[in-house]
Every structure is written in structure tokens, then in C-alpha cells.
Structure 1
Amino acid sequence: MAVAAPGDRRRAPLRILLAAGLAVTMPMTVPAAEVLAKPKPSAKQLKKELSELQKNSDKLIAEYYSSRRELQKVEKAEKSARERLKVAQADYDRESAQLRLMATEQYMSGGLGVVPALLGEVDLAGMATLRAIGEEQGARLEGFTRVRDQHRKAKTDAQARADELGERIKELEAQKKDAEKVIEKIKDRIDLLYPTPGVRRPDGSWVPQLPSGPDNITPRMRLVKKLIAERFAVPYGIGCYRAIQDGGEHPLGRACDFMLSRGGAMPSAAEVQRGNEIAAWAIKNSQRLGIMYVIYRQRIWHARTGSWRMMSNRGGTTANHYDHPHISVY
């Protein structure tokens, strides 16, 4: 065995330190595929997550339900307070008119000097001196005071109930959003339980599939159709295979239209939003499900570019995809 020279032995620790420093400052080269690849959760993991999410969802829904019941009570109290205020306002207006009339009559007859002030806002401090006018005026003044106090109380109570109602609505909306987020997570986990059919190449692209079954679409398109139908409850039907050779994906069994209205009519605002959600879901899951492009509202999103672009006008609501999102798979 060769023996290192004394000089080499002295330099050995230095070489070790340098090598260690380089190992720290220069990270190991990892293949791109390993960096990009994310471990897929197993069915067991997904089911465990689903169970936990379900418990959280049930708790949030129970809280939401309880808050809805409380809100209904507050709404009832607020409505009752508004009705009491309405009655009190009518009483107040009537008594104020009577009081002003009395003040006007007193002024016209040359009465006390404080009376003209009552022709504007009713001045109870000044009006108090009118007690000397007679029992009738005094009784009217006392009646007005009582009605005024009731009116003030009703107004304050109505405002308090309105404020409470506003706060309850805010709380309920926040609870609703929390529950919706958890429900959305549950839906995402359920989606992941379905493996995407077909062969995926190392570069991320997909091997084409043949159509099959009575619907004449590919297994990959069938999964996308199933997931969207279950998640978004498409109300006006889903059209996929078409025999007409128009150069698109429909005759190949690789495209479906998710209709938001009938007969070429423009969809409602709620259905437009449903279409937006379907398109967003398709884009979010495009890599996993092999979605090639999405067309919606005269725009196209392609997996190759990862962005939307406008399309030329094809002359109609359906032709321009305003009444449905179109989804094509590889």
C-alpha cells in the first residue's frame, strides 16, 4: 500500500475542508423530472384526509345552521322594531302637527313671546311656559312629551336591531365561506381518488386514446365529463361526440361541451359564473387529467401556453362559446 508523503498528509485536512465547503455551496444537480414530480397521495392518505375534512365540514355546517337560526330571530326582532318605529313615527308626526297648530293659534292671538319659536322645531323648553294657557294645552304638551320619548326609544331600538342584523349577516357570510372552502377541499380530494386513464410520457404529454363505449369518447374524456357532471351539476346537458368532421376534437371523442342554456340563448349571470368555475377547474386540473385546451366566451386557453387569448368572431352565441365551456383532452 502506498504511503502518503508528510506534505501530502499535512494537506489532506485542507482538501477535505475544501471538498466539504464545495458540497455546501454547490448543491447537487437533481434531474428536472425529480424536481417537478410531486409524490401522489395514496388512496389511503386521501381517504384519511377526506375523513378529517368531513368532520371539520360537519362542525362548520352545524355552526352555520345554528347561526342561521339566530339570524332568523334577529331578523324577526328587527322587523318588529321597524314596525314599532313606524307607529311611533306616525304618532310623533301627528302630535307635532297638533303642537305647532296650537303654537300658531297662540301666536295669532298675541300670546306668549316664546310661541313663534315653535313654528320651526318644536321647543319643549319654551313650550313648557304654555302650561299657563290652560289645562287643554298642558295635556297636549304632556301627550307630546310621552309620544316623543316613545318615538326616541323606538328609533334607538330599531337602529340597534338593524346594527345587530348587519353584524349577524357578516358573521354568517364568513362562516359560509369557511364551510365552502372545506367543501371545495373535499371535492378536490374526491377528484384525486380517480386515476387518470392512459399513458403519460416522461415529458408530461399524453399518448392519444381511442374512443370507446356507447358514448364514443375516450376514457380520459369520460373521466373529465364525469367529474364535471358530479361537481357542477351541468343543468342543460353535456354534448360530446359528433360525427361531423369539422377539424375539431368532437369527432375524435376528445371533446365535450358543457351547456349553460338552451337554444342559443345567452345564459343567466348564475350560469355564466358556473361556466367560469368549470373553466377554472379544468385549468387547475389540466396537467393531471390531460386537458389540452378550454374554450369559453370567445377565448381559448391552451395547456401549451398556459394563458387565455381571444378568438375571432364566429357569428353566434354558441359558435363563440358564450353558452358553454368546451373542453378537449389529449
Structure 2
Amino acid sequence: MSRDVRRRGAVRGLVASITAATLCLGPAGAGLAEPKPTAKQLRKELADMQKQSESLIARYYDSRVELQKVQKTEKAARDRLGRAQGDLDRAAREIRLLAAARYRSSGTEGVSAMMGSGDPAAMLNRLTLVEQIVAEQDAKLRVFVQVRDDHRRARDEAKTRGAELKASMAKLDDEKDRAEKLIEKIKDRIDLLYPTPGVRRADGTWVPQLPSGPDNITPRMRLTRQLVAQRFGSRFGIGCFRVDGGIAGGGEHPLGRACDFMLSGGGAMPSAAEAGRGDEIAAWAIKNARRLGIMYIIYRQRIWQTRTGSWRAMSNRGGVTANHFDHVHVSVY
């Protein structure tokens, strides 16, 4: 190999090295921009956050169960304390009566009575009996005091534990709220990874698209269906294209520009949980209407239009499905 060839090879290697270093470092003085996360990375982050949220919820409800047990224990301790206090009060009254009797009998008449008997043994027996009764009552009183104090400690310990559990639950509730908000932010970031197909006009409306594919819906409707399904699920199915739109004039379904996100089956009213899911889908669609080219939303006998930005009541069409109580209808431009 000639010297010129070797020199050209060395120069090419040097140029390649400099180019690679330049691409890695970027312009002088410029900060390195962090790469945007991919949908896969965000979904993993979302899955991790959902696990964390589920763990927080489980701990929260475990604490609620424990709190109910502690509150029941505290109530039982309060009841026992009340009974023990009653026993103690009765014993104390008996001792006070006995002490008063001893005081009255310790006067001159009592001494005379005891001395007048002339029998020292009988007098000693009477004194011994009185002392025995006093000792028994005193022992009884100490037992009652011990029982009362034990119940008081149990009540106070349960009360303290209850306060600790309430504080812990409040903290868990705050953490759960923060986790749920972060989950919503991650979901929003995933949604934003998908550009809306089509051309947007200057007035904010979109140029209509033609349906395509085996599902016979437009690309814009397909994206909205995908985002709703991956965010809110599709337990009762999603209906989009059909020849008869179900509305005078045909509606958007025959054009492939509408989908019904079902919340129940067989025309039944949805459960409270599913109705809540419908509210969430409608709120999400409103939030993303301008970005995704959503034209209007119908839910629970009301219609929301992008051009007005508000809900309006609709006339009664005579049924659960016809009045959109069992599904959220979304139409795109």
C-alpha cells in the first residue's frame, strides 16, 4: 500500500472521529437535551405508578379496617371502664358508711358499751371483727381501683392508636391523590405522543376525512377510539360504523366519523361505576376536543359541541340507548 493511500485512510479516520465527537457533544456551550420518552417507556412508567397507587389504596383500606377494630376496642374499653367505675363507687360508699359507723362507735358510748360488758374476750372479738370487715372492704376497693385503672389504660391506648391510624390514613390519602394525579399526567403524555391525522383549518375545524380499513372509520376517529380504549377500557364494546346512523339525516356513523363507547349491555341503565366511567370519557373528550378534531359529544340526553364549548339538553327520544344513557357518543370532523 502506498504512502498516499495510507495518508488518505488516516485522514478519513480522523474526520470520522471528529464528526462522531461533534455529534455527541453538539454545539459548543449548548446543553444536552434529554431524549423524549417513547410510548413504551411511558407505559412502563404508568404501570409502575398504577402498582404504587394500588398498593397505597390497599394500605389505606387495611388501615380503615384496623381503625374500625381499634374504635370497637376503644368503645368496649369505655363500657368496661364505666362498669368498673360504678363498682368502685359502690365499694367506696360502703367503706365510707363503715368508717362513719366506726367513728360513731368510737365515742364514749361505744367505749362504755364495750367496756361495760365486763368481758375482755368479747370486746376483743368485736374489735377483731370490725378490723376484718374493714380489711376486706379495703382489699375489695384496691381490686376495683386496679380494674378501673386497667380499663382506663386500655381506653387511652386504643384512643391513641386510633389517632395514629387517622393520621396515617390522612397521609396515605394524600399520597394516593398525588399518585393518581401523576398517573393522569402520564396518560396525558402518552396521548400527546400520537399526532392527530388530517389537516386543521385556521378557524380550528378540520378538513373531513374519508373512512378506510376493515372498520370503515376515518383515521381521526380511529385514533380517538384507540386512545379512549387504552385509557378507559372497553368492557361493553365500542360501536362505530353502521349504515343507519340512528339520527334523522344519517348522523356521523355512516361516514365513519362517530363511535359509541358502551357502558352497559342490552339497553340497560349502566351501574354507578360505569356511569362514572362515562363521565370520565366525556370529560377527557372535551379536554382533547380541539387537539383531536372532536366535533361533538352526546351523553345522558345532552350534547356538547366544540364550537359552543358547553352542554345543551336534548329532547327525549324514548329510551335508554336513544337518549345516550348507556353510552358516550363521540363524533369527529
Query: In structure 2, what is the equivalent of residue 235 of structure 1?
Result: 235
Equivalent residues of 2:60, 2:169 under 8 A apart: no
Equivalent residues of 2:296, 2:304 under 8 A apart: yes
Normalization by structure 1: what TM-score?
A: 0.69
Query: In structure 2, what is the equivalent of residue 203 of structure 1?
Result: 203
Secondary structure at 2:211 match in 1? coil
Equivalent residues of 1:88, 1:150 under 8 A apart: no
Equivalent residues of 1:68, 1:172 under 8 A apart: no
Q: Which amino acid aligns with 2:37?
A: K
- Quick one: distance in 2 between partners of 1:165 and 1:66? 14
What's the offset of the Cα at 1:255? 0.8
1:164 aligns with 2:164: yes
Equivalent residues of 2:252, 2:258 under 8 A apart: yes
Given the superposition, is the C-alpha separation of residues 138 and 74 from structure 1 closer, same or farther in structure 2, using an over 3 Å criterion?
A: farther
Q: Which amino acid aligns with 1:226?
A: Q
Query: In structure 2, what is the equivalent of residue 190 of structure 1?
Result: 190
Secondary structure at 2:321 match in 1? coil
Equivalent residues of 2:46, 2:187 under 8 A apart: no
Equivalent residues of 2:57, 2:176 under 8 A apart: no
1:47 aligns with 2:3: no
Q: Which amino acid aligns with 2:184?
A: E
Given the superposition, is the C-alpha separation of residues 196 and 71 from structure 1 closer, same or farther in structure 2, using an over 3 Å criterion?
A: closer
What's the offset of the Cα at 1:89? 4.8
Equivalent residues of 1:60, 1:178 under 8 A apart: no
Normalization by structure 2: what TM-score?
A: 0.68
Secondary structure at 1:317 match in 2? coil
Report the aligned-residue RMSD: 3.7
Given the superposition, is the C-alpha separation of residues 131 and 72 from structure 1 closer, same or farther in structure 2, using an over 3 Å criterion?
A: farther
What CA deviation, in whole Å up to 9, does each residue of 1:246-302 have, x standing for no partner? 421111111111111122222222212111111111111111111000011111100
What's the offset of the Cα at 1:208? 1.2
- Quick one: distance in 2 between partners of 1:270 and 1:237? 16
- Quick one: distance in 2 between partners of 1:254 and 1:59? 34
Given the superposition, is the C-alpha separation of residues 84 and 105 from structure 1 closer, same or farther in structure 2, using an over 3 Å criterion?
A: same
Query: In structure 2, what is the equivalent of residue 146 of structure 1?
Result: 146
Which stretch has the larger CA shift, 86-95 or 260-269?
86-95
What's the offset of the Cα at 1:192? 1.2
Alignment coverage as a number of residue pairs: 269
Choose from 252, 264, 271 the match for 1:268: 271
Which stretch has the larger CA shift, 171-180 or 85-94?
85-94
Summarize the alignment of residues 277-288 of structure 1 with structure 2, pairs less than 5 Å apart. 277-288=280-291
Given the superposition, is the C-alpha separation of residues 264 and 132 from structure 1 closer, same or farther in structure 2, using an over 3 Å criterion?
A: farther
Summarize the alignment of residues 1-330 of structure 1 with structure 2, pairs less than 5 Å apart. 46-47=36-37, 65=55, 72=62, 76=66, 81=70, 85=74, 88-89=77-78, 91-92=80-81, 94-96=83-85, 98-99=87-88, 133-246=133-246, 247-330=250-333
- Quick one: distance in 1 between partners of 2:43 and 2:210? 37
Identity in percent: 55
Q: Which amino acid aligns with 1:296?
A: Y
Equivalent residues of 2:56, 2:175 under 8 A apart: no
Query: In structure 2, what is the equivalent of residue 14 of structure 1?
Result: none
Unaligned runs of 5+ in 2: 1-33, 102-129
What CA deviation, in whole Å up to 9, does each residue of 1:175-214 have, x standing for no partner? 1111111111111111111121122223322111111122
- Quick one: distance in 2 between partners of 1:113 and 1:264? 84
What's the offset of the Cα at 1:48? 7.5
Secondary structure at 2:327 match in 1? coil
Equivalent residues of 2:81, 2:152 under 8 A apart: no
What's the offset of the Cα at 1:96? 4.5
Equivalent residues of 1:236, 1:262 under 8 A apart: yes
Equivalent residues of 2:212, 2:219 under 8 A apart: yes
Query: In structure 2, what is the equivalent of residue 29 of structure 1?
Result: none
Equivalent residues of 2:303, 2:314 under 8 A apart: yes
Given the superposition, is the C-alpha separation of residues 80 and 297 from structure 1 closer, same or farther in structure 2, using an over 3 Å criterion?
A: closer
Given the superposition, is the C-alpha separation of residues 152 and 192 from structure 1 closer, same or farther in structure 2, using an over 3 Å criterion?
A: same
- Quick one: distance in 2 between partners of 1:238 and 1:49? 23
